[in-house]
Structure 1
């Protein structure tokens, strides 16, 4: 017996020594995993942070991963995307992904001058409906070599955000996935060489809104030191959903659950349906193309929900001051509205552009395009708002290709800029930590708007993601122009220093961000092709 105990102890010591000697081996509470040596960096992918959200765990709060590996876990497989109806797939059937998808994916540079690294956690975008970690690259950050990058997957669309508005089916499952992933990172990143006290959460679009929503949790400051929201925040109109209960029961009807009225019965029926059937039903909630682009998203949950994420509207949380007072950087591009305005430039089978349809269908479509369909009480209110919106930007001009940029400006202001400014203004009156803001104005040679428009003959300006994909590269944007290479390096240095800063200061190139908490007027950094400058809002 004594000999066996000694033998087991020696084996454990040998395993620990082997793990220390081989950086692709990492010891976790679940057991040992093996990553991959990619030459310039190490990767550890598809590491589960939650139990698979399938069967009885569908539409439930994510459960911590509890399995123990008896053999070395293979962390060399690229992450799979969560099942989704993906707008960016140019075919009738837009279904991709799997339901068992909740993983963290870690990338560590080879920089032998450092014994540990700050951590940048990336939350991908996709309107809470689609998206994947593979669309946000890490090569540029690995080449710089000063931070560990962690990318997380989370439930999307109806499987991530369906809500009946009560405790049976409260919603926000995708946000709860993100929160559990952040907790996993905080608990385990030191084992990979990360610094648990220097975690920066960065999100783009829906990921940006997610980062802001996490910041509005009082315990976020225990998980991260700062947050970055690029082209999105909790107050833009496509984030917080209304009429979720109506859509939940409509989903039940579409997939064959009948005309139910009880949320528990609805949940039971939906758990029994195939995941692909539920996700394919997304197309029934779209009025044309992928409009509205977020039919399922975050909601205010009832206070009696199990482990709720959000029980107050973000505006009320900010005004209460009961959130995490950590540094926050928020931004938008000069023409963020290119998403989803560019679809209006696409040619229809009859040869006409979709934008021309607005001349006859503006009052029908505008409430869906700009997410106020559920916020107005009467048809008269809807029509009045639609009329005023058109008049403000177009006067008496028609919707046409010649007037496209004016139409795109409606999208930019209504879906991004206006509520970014409102969010900054609320925070500057109720926050105790720095609030930073930048606007990016340097059009990409190839933008995502071209994919939506299916053409590249119209100049749309600096669009959605033109800055983000200089940090987390996308193959469609490659190769970068020389000026974009310089900007990319400056952005990366900005993030690295923000992640490691002791006092929450922030700078881009020679422009030190002003803290809007201390300013009489909102100030921002305008980042252009060959310069940056600090400006004040009029």
Structure 2
């Protein structure tokens, strides 16, 4: 995991750590529906009660209206969900194969009650069968319902905010940003409902989309196509959190980044990037940055047709 360094708060007891393994388990169970939070395609996410609105949040770019969700489990308090929040400008046209830019501001209150489109990807490939988790493949129909709406304009994130105060910590809440896996080619943050983790751990959970495949990681060894745009998207999301999470009641100085699969590798790769300098991030995960999953091993075969110079080939 990647953590932005925190400052101690005088006069308060340290908050118990939410173990990374438990955090991943809660996300996986929510995604698979094992916690009774049946999934759906466009949102609102997993079990929202109709007609309930979350408080309107004023961000640096405009106002957001979310949804308050009552979780099925009676020991967990309600969670405010803000879905499909833009953290970068649409990477289309001249912005394609370019580092992300901040999003444009909006004047009216933005309706953040539905998931935004996911980044372009092929959901019929062999990776779905041999490289993704069992719960992923065994719930293929649920997964597919989240991947139907695709667009290059996909740089959005989802924010899950607990509503019940924790007597152990009265200040701004810690923040956990989850990076999804999928071999850098598939997946979306929309699949992982952060509501249970947010309510159970009294933390603000952020999930996100980032560019995948060719659009996210193509590198031509040329200044015009340097690659790693998906990683730059993740850094831009962290910048957005640093600027805006305080408006949701979060602490920009207590941000932990964690992930699974390729997302776990991204966490370590982010610490190696010079773009991370000056952000006071520390790496608390085990080394996966040099694992095979950190590199694209797809082999491309090129066939050339032999010229015959107009001569007829004879057997």
TM-score of the pair, normalised by structure 1: 0.38
1:384-395 counterparts in 2 under 5 A?
none
Q: Secondary structure at the match of 1:111?
A: coil
**8 A contact 1:182–1:223 mirrored in 2:** no
- Normalised by the length of structure 2, the TM-score is 0.64
Deviation (angstroms), 1:204: 0.8
2:202 counterpart residue number? 146
Higher RCO, 1 vs 2 (CA within 8 Å, ≥6 residues apart): 2
**How far does the alpha carbon of each residue in 1:262-285 deviate from its partner, in whole angstroms, 9 at most, with x for none?**
xxxxxxxxxxxxxxxxxxxxxxxx
- 1:46 and 1:117 map into 2 onto residues whose CA distance is 21
Residue number in structure 2 paired with 1:121: 177
Which structure has the larger Rg over C-alpha atoms? 1
Change (3 A) 1:227 1:137: farther
Match of 1:201, SS state, is strand
Question: How is 1:264-275 mapped onto 2 (pairs within 5 angstroms)?
Answer: none
Contact 2:56/2:65, CA 8 A, preserved across alignment: yes
Measured at CA, do residues 138 and 155 of structure 1 come closer, stay the same or move farther in structure 2, by a change above 3 Å?
A: same
The reply to whether residue 56 of structure 1 matches residue 94 of structure 2 is: yes
Closer, same or farther: CA 242–133 of 1 in aligned 2, 3 Å:
closer
In structure 1, which of residues 86, 99, 102 is the aligned counterpart of residue 155 of structure 2?
A: 102
Q: CA deviation at 1:229?
A: 4.8
- Which residue of 2 is the match for residue 325 of structure 1? none
- Equivalent residues of 1:186, 1:223 under 8 A apart: no
Q: CA deviation at 1:142?
A: 2.6
Pick aligned residue for 2:62 from 4, 25, 31: 31
1:83 aligns with 2:120: yes
> Are 1:44 and 2:115 an aligned pair?
no
- 1:177 Cα deviation from its structure 2 partner: 0.8
Correspondence for 2:254: 198
- Give the whole-Å Cα distance in 2 for the aligned partners of 1:171 and 1:50: 17
Q: How many residues align?
A: 224
Q: Which residue of 2 aligns with 1:363?
A: none
Q: 1:111 to 1:228 in 2, by over 3 A?
A: farther
- Report the equivalent of 2:211: 155
Distance of aligned partners of 1:229 and 1:45 in 2 relative to their CA distance in 1, 3 Å threshold: farther
Gap regions ≥5 residues in structure 1: 1-21, 254-538
Q: Deviations over 1:213-268 (max 9, x none)?
A: 111235637546444658x8211123234799x79xx7xx9xxxxxxxxxxxxxxx
Residues 222 and 157 (structure 1 numbering): CA distance in 2 closer, same or farther, change over 3 Å?
same
| Contact 1:26–1:34 (CA under 8 A) maintained in structure 2 | yes
Contact 1:116-1:193 within 8 A present in 2 as well: yes
Distance change in 2, residues 1:219/1:63 (3 Å): closer
Q: SS at the partner of 2:294?
A: coil
Alignment check: 8 A CA contact 1:202 1:228 kept = no
Distance 2:298 2:116 in 1: 33
Structure 1 Cα separation of the partners of residues 164 and 201 of structure 2: 6
Please give the alpha-carbon distance, in whole angstroms, between the structure 2 residues aligned to 1:219 and 1:52.
21
Q: CA RMSD in A?
A: 2.9
Q: Secondary structure at the match of 1:238?
A: helix
CA 49–210 in structure 1, closer or farther in 2 if over 3 Å, else same: same
1:185 Cα offset (Å):
0.8
Contact 1:41 1:108 in 2 (8 A): yes
Secondary structure of 2:175's match? strand
